[in-house]
């Protein structure tokens, strides 16, 4: 049996005609950019994240970047980021002219911890971007306390964690602002690119609104030099449908993860994700195992038709894109070890039980052969 890493068509099939109906509604409306669907989605997503403002943008990278720009972060500023994240977190900082300052994550949660954040603050630190990686929420309340009295803003990178929460409060409203991605594979995914900023700071939300639309709130009147980063009406309408089912798909993801955790208990040499401590409620974005001989394991699974992905094989500090910062292997050992040993298995709300069993049987065979 072939088991693909992810088959997004299953999401579409599961929703029956709802997506097609929404798409037809937009196509027939004659309004395609910054219209009523976008307004309604912003209201619905603000309510989902329990924040006062949601501003949609073109993608998650722009969501991060426009928040930093709205705070006036730029040349010479330092922004604290995890050493292990998708490079977009760092690129948003660089796009503003600021410097990403990496922090090695906690080896269990893979998120950055308050004590490490506080230790890296200097007179030039303008912001910190905790990433809710793989759906595990960073402990933002603890990070906030550790930064008390310092003028360091907190931007949550919530691209992989729609619906996760800390102490019962959803991500999106834990920091000063949050950035979401709606890239198709995300827990809340569009059928194209999309992103959003959430915040309880209405003034900042208005700045992002200007920045995303040529610096303009009144047509052809330009208050600042903005850009173009808008969520189109088609994606907004499709996201409204997906959002109305996201709690159910989060539950199905958790079931899928629980089954893997059960099935993988006695597989030699394979480590599974560790749940974060009590207050943090995760939503599963992907399911990563770890193995000392990960590359061989991945090849063996591929030969049996099992699709896998590495999130991410090259930490940003070792990528050519960031050679100028002068980091070397060994500087962030937790991030590097994860990059070397982790492997994401096929995963999703609609992965079948028999497919999961097939995956685990293949993992077991490969792991035994490698032990």
Which residues of this protein are in contact with ligand PLP, per CB under 6 A? 59-61, 85-86, 88-89, 131, 157, 159-160, 181, 183, 193, 195
Q: Which is nearer to ligand PLP, 88 or 110 (CB)?
A: 88
CB contact at 8 A, 230 and 195: no
Asked whether the beta carbons of 226 and 66 are under 8 A apart, the reply is no
| Tokens matching residue 110 | 């893979």
CB of 86 to ligand PLP, least distance (A): 4
Beta strands in the chain (DSSP E): 53-57, 78-82, 99-103, 125-128, 153-157, 165-166, 169-170, 177-181, 195-199, 280-281, 287-290, 342-345
Which residue number, 14 or 312, has a Cβ lying nearer to ligand PLP?
Answer: 312
Whole-number minimum distance, CB 109 to ligand PLP, in Å? Answer: 15
Q: Which is nearer to ligand PLP, 196 or 360 (CB)?
A: 196
Min dist. Cβ of residue 60 to ligand PLP (A) = 2
Judged by CB, which is closer to ligand PLP: 89, or 213? 89
Tell me whether residue 86 or residue 322 sits nearer to ligand PLP (CB atom): 86
Smallest gap from Cβ 176 to ligand PLP, in A, equals 17
DSSP 8-state symbol, 179: E
Our CB check for ligand PLP shows the closer of 127 and 363 to be: 127
Instruction: Give me the least distance between CB of 189 and ligand PLP, in Å please.
Output: 10
**Selection from 119, 161, 167 nearest residue 128 by Cα:** 119
- Residue 45: CB partners within 8 Å, gap ≥ 6? 54, 56, 180, 196, 198, 239, 243
Measured from the CB of residue 230, what is the shortest distance to ligand PLP in angstroms? 14
Distance in angstroms (rounded) separating the CA atoms of residues 117 and 80: 7
Q: Which residue is nearest to ligand PLP (CB)?
A: 60
């Amino acid at each position: 049996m072939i088991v693909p890493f992810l088959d997004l068509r299953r999401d579409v099939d599961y929703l029956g005609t709802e997506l097609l109906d929404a798409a037809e509604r937009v196509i027939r409306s004659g309004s395609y950019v910054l219209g009523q669907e976008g307004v309604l989605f912003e209201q619905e997503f603000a309510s989902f994240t329990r924040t006062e403002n949601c501003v949609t943008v073109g993608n998650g990278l722009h969501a991060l970047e426009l928040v930093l720009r709205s705070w006036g972060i730029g040349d010479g500023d330092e922004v604290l980021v995890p050493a292990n994240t998708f490079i977009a977190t760092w690129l948003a900082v660089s796009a503003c002219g600021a410097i990403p300052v990496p922090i090695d994550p906690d080896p269990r949660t893979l998120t950055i911890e308050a004590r490490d954040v506080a230790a890296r603050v200097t007179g030039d630190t303008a912001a910190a971007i905790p990433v809710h990686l793989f759906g595990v929420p960073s402990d933002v309340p603890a990070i906030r306390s550790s930064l008390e009295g310092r003028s360091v803003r907190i931007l949550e990178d919530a691209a992989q964690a729609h619906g996760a929460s800390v102490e019962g409060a959803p991500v999106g409203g834990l920091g000063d602002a949050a950035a979401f991605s709606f890239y198709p594979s995300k827990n809340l995914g569009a059928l194209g690119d999309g992103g959003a900023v959430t915040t309880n700071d209405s003034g900042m939300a208005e700045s992002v609104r200007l920045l995303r639309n040529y610096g303009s709130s009144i047509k052809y009147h330009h208050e600042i030099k903005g850009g173009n980063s808008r969520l189109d009406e088609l994606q907004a309408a499709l996201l409204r449908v997906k959002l109305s089912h996201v709690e159910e798909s989060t539950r199905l993801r958790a079931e899928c993860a629980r089954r893997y955790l059960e099935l993988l208990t006695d597989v030699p040499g394979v480590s599974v994700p560790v749940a974060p401590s009590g207050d943090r409620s995760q939503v599963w974005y992907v399911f990563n195992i770890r193995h000392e001989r990960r590359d061989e394991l991945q090849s063996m699974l591929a030969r049996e038709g099992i699709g896998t992905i590495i999130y991410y094989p090259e930490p940003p500090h070792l990528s050519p894109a960031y050679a100028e910062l002068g980091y070397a292997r060994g500087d962030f050992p937790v991030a590097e070890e994860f990059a070397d040993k982790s492997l994401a298995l096929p995963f999703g709300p609609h992965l079948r039980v028999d497919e999961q069993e097939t995956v685990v049987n293949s993992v077991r065979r490969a792991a035994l052969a490698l032990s």
